[in-house]
Amino acid sequence: MADVHDKATRSRNMAAIRATNTKPELIIRKGLHASGFRYRLHAKELPGKPDLILPKYRAVVFINGCFWHGHNCHLFRWPATRQEFWQEKIAGNTARDQRHHTALSAAGWRIAVIWECALKGKTRQPPGDVIDRLSRWLVTEDRELQIEGAQI
């Protein structure tokens, strides 16, 4: 099936998709700051440019979009057009995520991943619950945390 947009329109639509300062990211940032946590944003020197870096806790936080990172939830659906392209693209994204997590872990960083479905859609959790769970994890010695949408 052909794309419903011409090449220029599709390019403009794709360019409008943000990589930083997304709504889920802003929710997490605002909540952590209100809880007294201080962080850096998108440190280019770290593998994967984590969304939040909390050096005091030796922790990084990734806030992943379910589509772009191939999360198995209701927000992810394979596109009907250009299926081979999208399968390669998303497989590449997940492989790159894994490489970055391995490198960060080897360097002594603790890693939290918050999935978009935890804050959006029919499986979203109250933002305060997500912030509380992340805040509790930060003060522990646990190496990893994943927060995703509630089971329905």
pLDDT digit string (tens) for 43-96?
999 999 999 999 999 999 999 999 999 999 999 999 888 899 999 999 999 999
Residue 81: its pLDDT value, please?
A: 86
In a domain, 106, yes or no: yes
Q: Say if residue 15's pLDDT is above 70.
A: no
Residue 16: its pLDDT value, please?
A: 60
In a domain, 9, yes or no: no
In a domain, 10, yes or no: no
Q: How many CA atoms lie within 13 A of 3 on its CB side?
A: 10
Residue 110: its pLDDT value, please?
A: 98
pLDDT digits (tens, 9 = 90+) for 83-133: 999 999 999 999 999 999 999 999 999 999 999 999 999 999 999 999 999
Phi, psi of 61 (to 5 degrees): -125, 125
CATH code at position 94 = 3.40.960.10
Give how many domains the chain has, as a whole number: 1
Top-ranked range on mean pLDDT: pick from 1-5, 8-12, 75-79 = 75-79
Angle at 63 between CA 50 and CA 100, to 5 degrees: 40
In a domain, 100, yes or no: yes
Task: Please give the DSSP secondary-structure letter assigned to residue 40.
Answer: E
Angle at 139 between CA 39 and CA 129, to 5 degrees: 80
In a domain, 122, yes or no: yes
CA-CA distances (angstroms) from residue 38 to 32, 47, 53, 110, 134? 8, 20, 9, 16, 13
Distance CA 145, CA 152 (A): 21
Strand partners, 144: 111
Distance CA 109, CA 57 (A): 9
In a domain, 70, yes or no: yes
In a domain, 103, yes or no: yes
Q: Domain span at residue 92?
A: 20-147
Distance CA 41, CA 125 (A): 24
Cβ 1 vs Cβ 79: under 8 Å? no
In a domain, 117, yes or no: yes
